[in-house]
Amino acid sequence: MQVTMTINGQEVSEEIEPRLLLVHFIRDQLGLTGTHWGCDTSNCGTCVVLIDGEPVKSCTQLAAMASGHDITTVEGLEVDGELDPVQEGFMQCHGLQCGFCTPGMMLTARALLNADPDPSEEVIREAISGQICRCTGYSTIVRSIQWAADHETDVSVGSAS
Amino acid sequence: MQVPAPFEYERATSVEHAIALRTQLGEEARFIAGGHSLLPMMKLRLANPEYLIDINDLDELFYITRADDEIRIGAMTRHRELLDSDLLAEHFPIFRDAEKVIADPVVRNRGTLGGSLCQADPSEDLSAVCTTLDASCVIKSTDGERIVSMQDFHVGPYETAVGDTEMLTEIRIPLKAGGGSAYEKVERRAGDWAVVSSGVAVWMSNGTIDDGRVGLAAVGPNTTSIGPVAEALRGAAPSEEFYEQVGEIAAANCSPQTDQRGTAAYKTHLAKELTRRSLRRAVARAQGQEA
Amino acid sequence: MTTTEPAPDTTEEERPIGFGRLLRKEDPRLIRGMGNFVDDISLDGMLHLAILRSPVAHARIVSIDTSAAEAHPKVVAVITGEDLAAQGLAWMPTLSNDTQAVLATDKVRFQHQEVAFVVAEDRYSARDALELIDVEYDWLDPVVDVRTALDADVPVIRDDLDGKTDNHIFDWETGDEAATNAVFDSADVVVSEEIIYPRVHPAPMETCGCVADVERVSGQLTLWCTSQAPHAHRTVYALVAGLPEHKIRVIAPDIGGGFGNKVPIYPGYVCAIVASLVIGKPVKWMEDRTENLVSTGFARDYVMNADIAATKEGKILAVRTNVLADHGAFNGVAAPTKYPAGFFGVFTGSYDLEAAYAKMTAVYTNKAPGGVAYACSFRITEAVYLVERIVDCLAHELDMDPAELRLKNFIKPDQFPYETKTGWVYDSGDYEPAMRKAMEMAGYDELRREQAEKRERGELMGIGVSFFTEAVGAGPRKDMDILGLGMADGCELRIHPTGKAVVRLSVKTQGQGHETTFAQIVAEEIGIPPEDIEVVHGDTDNTPFGLGTYGSRSTPVSGAAAALVTRKVRDKAQIIASGMLEVSVADLQWDKGAFSVKGDPTKSVTIQDIAMRAHGAGDLPDGLEGGLEAQICYNPENLTYPFGAYICVVDIDPDTAVVKVRRFIAVDDCGTQINPMIIEGQVHGGLADGVGMAMMEMIAFDEDGNCLGGSLMDYLIPTALETPDWETGHTVTPSPHHPIGAKGIGESATVGSPPAVVNAIVDALKPYGIRHADMPLTPSRVWEAMQGNHTPPI
């Protein structure tokens, strides 16, 4: 079947098998390997992408279901050579180690900040609670997102508007 | 990674179209809503439908509205919308209590009320909530629609009253004066299924409980609303001793099993303790004492 | 220093040339999604491999019918154990010199054991074809309970081993049994407890996998692999396949966490290599999450009977333990050859004892093989948990404050180097200041007052203390090898003519930040800015030999190598500088980055000047070759012994038994600090592991040997909601034998935190008279403990 969707602002149209998971469509068919997968059961969140601005676990969506929608992956966070404040925050505050969960974490952070520019620590922890990081113990991820909140620019990738 | 077996995919454009597809494709077809229950089952090849009918475009099934004496919720309403709804929080705060502890925020962006109920997992929270609230389910087919109570909706674990040519389209919750409700859950970790959870709804007047219901999850083959609890609640005056008694009735009327989430003894204890807590809070809310 | 505030922005001026807080060189690619993980690799014509696994724990294979799978239009090959046996490849060595089936030939010995594999054009088809393979099994009784594995009437799991008539693997002992028993016999107080460390799993976010590409004509194998030890892997492949090392190139690209899980060689890697060899195309194998949890290296699984002897005043005299170790169906423990129980011998902890003795029996069961570390230097997690738990049991019996009891028994600073009663020589330590600092950060006395008040009101609050000493940085090669390979590490440094540098390591980051830390080590020693130093690692064709990253050994071993190779280069630079400045070598002084003439600082040359001279035209001092580079292989003279004091504060709902970790204070001493930001990150991650193991992580089995922890729905890992904002601090006690005094930090927190959490929970339950409860302390287990049952069935 044919699917057509917008990925990081670019329209793509591809022939796929109906059962193709969105994460595989993004990684294997489009070659955007920044989106990872880490479990099969929607528990780990390494595969999070934004669909119409909302974080979604792309291992638990069919590419077919995403047809007609607007997808943002980690590759779409940097705009015209400008890093998203979330990306900068993760570097500044050591919010990543192996970097495997990082794309999903950053996309959830971006969606959070779009909805709530000044989230409390509690709100941040809740927002990322569907995503597992084995390296950082989360504190530095929380700090990274706080850093981004303190350094927001007019960048607003993936916002629904 | 695990991947589903092959299937054909159709995207429904209306409820009528969805039902027509289902009727035409028969028992080998399944609706896919949020996908967060069905797709994991398909990856494990525990579910192998030949056709998936995507109902995510059915805008007509995304709503939470008030109609005279009931709240109506479209089957495609997502967890996130149930959590955020002030209308629901005003009338049935049990929804917000429960939604805060269902899965995780990202899953809540996709998972739907209808999908949760149709999965019919005995540990599933919204089934307990809807049972507690005496909700009814609107099931449509080409023959029209029928309305089924929550008790009748869940036929057994992972089995519902929705037939092969039917579709769950709406959940209706009766609005009655003096209501209060609450939900308590114990989980091993955020996002885990309930070890046990307990929802309570009461309807009060003049300091007395006119009517009340309890729904427990993860304590038996199906989400359980316990008859004896409802009987005990009717006409009772709330007190700490009374909450304790009701908790004991709840515990005495469930049949949990030992598994990795907990021992049967612990779950029985939780049925009592969580029912006591939910009841206390539901009464407080009915009396306007707690948000 | 307490570091709980969000980090400040790093400005250009603050960027250190050498040690200090420095943003990571790895990050720019990773935050852009430009990392290169194994599953990101896609080669022309690449095929996909999927493994069929046994549904049962113990069964004889009667027949395998692959015909339907072979008929699948997208299937290229289906291979069974019989096919491999024909090539002599059905079995492979484990890291402990046992054998492990690549694919089962005779019988399956654990649930999810590898039985056959499919190679197909795409990964979906490979999966589909697994459904088409029909295997007939003849069910055998499984051995699941480690306590009965040596009973006379149980089945022999390893009947493939010549003459094997039971499930015994080894007995091991350390310390002086008679002396220890004598101390116990005359002690005022003896406390005993059975302490179980359940089977857990490292579960890195990236599962294991590889891409194997055998070039048909040259026979060259390139293997991109999730390996923490690429050189060791290459040599094992060379030995098994009889190929020269230069025909094998192992590349570990970006790795999504390892924690010990990516140390062993797994059957899947061998299958992919065989498939590529047979088919002549690149073959990718990636585990799914279930495969990772149910078949690759688990950790722990010790049943430990612990005894502690003390005077009634609280002087600890001796510790004794008897351990039953469940190694699963194949002995795949990752440990130096002479140490079948790893470094469990450090179970004497941080205390000055009169005697100690441990005895261990390891057995086979019908469970997945492994026994790797899980962010733990070779069984030290078990050792530290044992001693820190039994010390708390002693405090309970003596009604002493657990922090005071520890302070009273620490090895004193003037006793270092300190030889323990089991023969380990702790290099350096100053324990009391670390303990006092943690207590001060925690507000220990105030917490105890708060606890007393809460107890009056029936509220449950617990304060858990642990103090650990780790042994990391394996190892001196005379004592330590894996499969005969000495545990030393090479390092090579080249300074280019323009003064930029490339340093090549034998170790491999899986998130620890080697590309940054090692650049800083070189920078500290030679004064070249870290951004001008490229760190090459994870590619056997481009790095010197060494045993890889695990057991916190990168900084203690490879870090030492990096410092020493840089000094070697600097020595040569000094000779060149003496020629340039026309003074003798002895008249030069080193100011980071430049040599100057003693007494005349205006006469100086920078390392960049020297680099150009080393490669440029013009004379060099007599007898000196051109170029500015060196290579060494570093053999550590001893392990390093990091330590730390941890305090955990929990609150427990007395009615639901739900535990909330309110605070966690960690004071670590890893000797000299290279990058405090990275050190703090390493500690944080380990603390989360500790909360996970103490409260939720466990690979359980039912009575038929079915694994109950086969997904992240069942194997729970903490989220941001179970973990507090960590409060960290440090002291610095350099290692006397490490060239820069660094000790390693990768695993300290994983080792030290589980007992702190458990001690806190048990402390909270003191009003119930509870002295011990076994991990994982889920709400159900806490509640069962409150009912007097400390090891419930599940």
DSSP per-residue letters across C625-645: -SS-EEEEEE--SS-B--EEE
CA distance B273 to B127: 20
Nearest Cα residue to A45 out of A102, A116, A125, A124: A102
How much is the mean pLDDT over chain C? 95
Query: Cβ C33–A74 below 8 Å, yes or no?
Result: yes
Task: Tell me B56's DSSP state.
Answer: T
**What is the CATH architecture of A85-150?**
Orthogonal Bundle (1.10)
Alpha carbon of C736 to those of C300, C424, C515, C731, C742: distances in Å?
31, 16, 25, 15, 9
**Tell me, what's the pLDDT at B291?**
55
A138 touches chain C (CB under 8 A): yes
Query: Cβ C288–A126 below 8 Å, yes or no?
Result: no
CA distance C306 to C387: 8
B39 touches chain A (CB under 8 A): yes
User: What would the two tokens of residue A91 be?
Assistant: 């570097």
C90 three-state secondary structure: coil
Residues of A with Cβ-Cβ distance to C684 under 8 angstroms? 136-140
**What is the CATH architecture of B179-286?**
2-Layer Sandwich (3.30)
Residues of chain A with pLDDT under 50: 159-161
Residues of A with Cβ-Cβ distance to C725 under 8 angstroms? 121, 139, 142
CA distance B235 to C413: 73
Cβ under 8 Å to B: C residues 633-662: 655-658
- Give the pLDDT mean for C646-655: 98
Query: pLDDT tens digits for B145-155?
Result: 999 999 899 98
Q: Is the model's pLDDT at C523 over the cut of 50?
A: yes
In C583-682 the beta strands, taken as DSSP E runs, fall at 588-591, 594-597, 600-606, 629-634, 643-652, 659-669
Query: Cβ A94–C678 below 8 Å, yes or no?
Result: yes
**What is the CATH architecture of B59-174?**
2-Layer Sandwich (3.30)
In Å, how far is C416's CA from the nearest CA of chain A? 33
Instruction: Identify which of A38, A97, A140 has the shortest CB distance to residue C513.
Output: A97
Sign of CA dihedral B41, B44, B46, B49: positive
How many inter-chain contacts (A to C, CB under 8 Å) are there?
184
- Give the pLDDT mean for C286-290: 97
- Please say whether the beta carbons of B129 and B73 come within 8 A: no
Q: Which H or E run contains C736?
A: none
ipTM of the complex: 0.97
Residue C776: is the preceding peptide bond cis (ω within 30°)?
A: yes
User: What would the two tokens of residue C606 be?
Assistant: 């920078």
Q: Is the model's pLDDT at C3 over the cut of 50?
A: no
Residues of C with Cβ-Cβ distance to B190 under 8 angstroms? 719, 721-722
**What is the CATH architecture of A2-76?**
Roll (3.10)
How much is the mean pLDDT over chain A? 95
In Å, how far is A63's CA from the nearest CA of chain C? 14
Query: Cβ C27–A90 below 8 Å, yes or no?
Result: yes
Query: Cβ A41–C257 below 8 Å, yes or no?
Result: no
| Neighbouring chains to C with at least 3 Cβ pairs closer than 8 Å | A, B
C73 touches chain A (CB under 8 A): no
Q: Is the model's pLDDT at C623 over the cut of 70?
A: yes
**Tell me, what's the pLDDT at A161?**
38
Sign of CA dihedral C404, C406, C410, C413: negative
- Give the pLDDT mean for C294-317: 97
> In sequence order, which residues have a C-beta less than 8 Å from that of residue B231 and are 6 or more positions away?
none
User: What would the two tokens of residue C188 be?
Assistant: 């005022």
Cβ under 8 Å to C: B residues 226-255: none
> In sequence order, which residues have a C-beta less than 8 Å from that of residue C319 and are 6 or more positions away?
C306, C307, C308, C309, C347, C348, C349, C353, C356, C387, C390
Nearest Cα residue to B182 out of B251, B285, B83, B85: B285
Query: Cβ A128–C205 below 8 Å, yes or no?
Result: no
Residues of B with Cβ-Cβ distance to C696 under 8 angstroms? 188-189
Instruction: Identify which of C28, C677, C689 has the shortest CB distance to residue A94.
Output: C677
Interface test with C, best of B123, B189, B267 (most C CBs within 10 A): B189
Instruction: Identify which of C7, C33, C205 has the shortest CB distance to residue A92.
Output: C7
Interface test with B, best of A42, A43, A145 (most B CBs within 10 A): A42
Q: Residue A93's closest chain C neighbor by CA?
A: C7
CA distance C587 to C196: 62
Alpha carbon of C522 to those of A65, A86, B285, C494, C670: distances in Å?
51, 31, 65, 11, 19
Chain centroid offset of residue C336 CA: 13
Interface test with C, best of A106, A126, A138, A150 (most C CBs within 10 A): A138
What percentage of chain A reaches a pLDDT higher than 70? Answer: 96
pLDDT confidence tier of residue C7, bands split at 50, 70 and 90? very low
List chain A domain ranges.
2-76, 85-150
Phi and psi at residue C730, to the nearest 5°: -155, 160
In Å, how far is B255's CA from the nearest CA of chain C? 16
A94 touches chain C (CB under 8 A): yes
- Give the pLDDT mean for C412-419: 98
A5 touches chain B (CB under 8 A): no
**Tell me, what's the pLDDT at C1?**
38
- Please say whether the beta carbons of C507 and C537 come within 8 A: yes
Query: Cβ C259–A41 below 8 Å, yes or no?
Result: no
C305 touches chain A (CB under 8 A): no
Amino acid letter for position C614:
A
Query: Cβ B110–A19 below 8 Å, yes or no?
Result: no
Strand-by-strand arrangement of the A54-57 sheet: A10-15, A2-7, A70-72, A48-51, A54-57
C712 touches chain B (CB under 8 A): no
Instruction: Identify which of C655, C716, C794 has the shortest CB distance to residue B259.
Output: C794
Instruction: Identify which of A27, A94, A98 has the shortest CB distance to residue C255.
Output: A98
Cβ under 8 Å to A: B residues 102-121: 103-107, 109-110
Alpha carbon of C396 to those of C357, C467, C756: distances in Å?
23, 17, 15
Q: Is the model's pLDDT at C643 over the cut of 60?
A: yes
- Give the pLDDT mean for C254-279: 96
Strand-by-strand arrangement of the C727-730 sheet: C460-469, C643-652, C659-669, C727-730
Residues of C with Cβ-Cβ distance to B263 under 8 angstroms? 780, 784, 792-794
- Give the pLDDT mean for C25-43: 98
Instruction: Identify which of A39, A94, A98 has the shortest CB distance to residue C256.
Output: A98
Task: Tell me C618's DSSP state.
Answer: S
C687 touches chain A (CB under 8 A): yes
pLDDT confidence tier of residue C785, bands split at 50, 70 and 90? very high
Nearest Cα residue to B218 out of B171, B182, B185: B185
Q: Quickly tell me which residue has 């023959």 as its tokens.
A: B143
- Count of C-beta atoms within a 10 Å radius of residue C657: 27
Task: Tell me C370's DSSP state.
Answer: B
pLDDT confidence tier of residue C14, bands split at 50, 70 and 90? low
CB half-sphere exposure, B291, CA atoms < 13 A: 2
**Tell me, what's the pLDDT at B157?**
87
How many inter-chain contacts (A to B, CB under 8 Å) are there?
83
> In sequence order, which residues have a C-beta less than 8 Å from that of residue C452 and are 6 or more positions away?
none
Nearest Cα residue to B55 out of B22, B103, B102: B22
- Please say whether the beta carbons of C570 and C525 come within 8 A: yes
Q: Quickly tell me which residue has 């903490």 as its tokens.
A: C718
Higher pLDDT, A161 or C527: C527
- Please say whether the beta carbons of C356 and C649 come within 8 A: no
Fold of B8-54: 3.30.43
Q: Is the model's pLDDT at C4 over the cut of 50?
A: no
**Tell me, what's the pLDDT at B223?**
65
**Tell me, what's the pLDDT at C437?**
98
C268 three-state secondary structure: helix
Residues of B with Cβ-Cβ distance to C794 under 8 angstroms? 258-260, 262-263
Query: Cβ B189–C696 below 8 Å, yes or no?
Result: yes
Q: Residue A61's closest chain B neighbor by CA?
A: B35
Sign of CA dihedral C523, C528, C529, C530: negative
Alpha carbon of B95 to those of B99, B109, B124, B162, C715: distances in Å?
6, 16, 13, 23, 28
Instruction: Identify which of C31, C40, C681 has the shortest CB distance to residue A97.
Output: C681
Residues of B with Cβ-Cβ distance to A42 under 8 angstroms? 36, 40, 107
CA distance B184 to B216: 10
- CATH 3.30.390.50 residue ranges for chain B: 179-286
Q: Is the model's pLDDT at C526 over the cut of 70?
A: yes
- Give the pLDDT mean for C7-16: 58
A17 touches chain B (CB under 8 A): yes
Would you give per-residue pLDDT tens digits along chain B (291 residues)? Answer: 899 999 999 999 999 999 999 999 999 999 999 999 999 999 999 999 999 999 999 999 999 999 989 999 999 999 999 999 999 999 999 999 999 999 999 999 999 999 999 998 888 999 999 999 999 999 999 999 999 999 899 988 889 999 999 999 999 999 999 999 999 999 999 999 999 999 999 999 999 999 999 999 999 876 666 789 999 999 999 999 999 999 999 999 999 999 999 999 999 999 999 999 999 999 999 999 875
B72 touches chain A (CB under 8 A): no
- Give the pLDDT mean for C244-272: 97
Bridge partners, residue C130, by sequence:
none
Residues of C with Cβ-Cβ distance to A137 under 8 angstroms? 684-688, 723, 726
A152 touches chain C (CB under 8 A): no
Please count the residues of chain A: 161
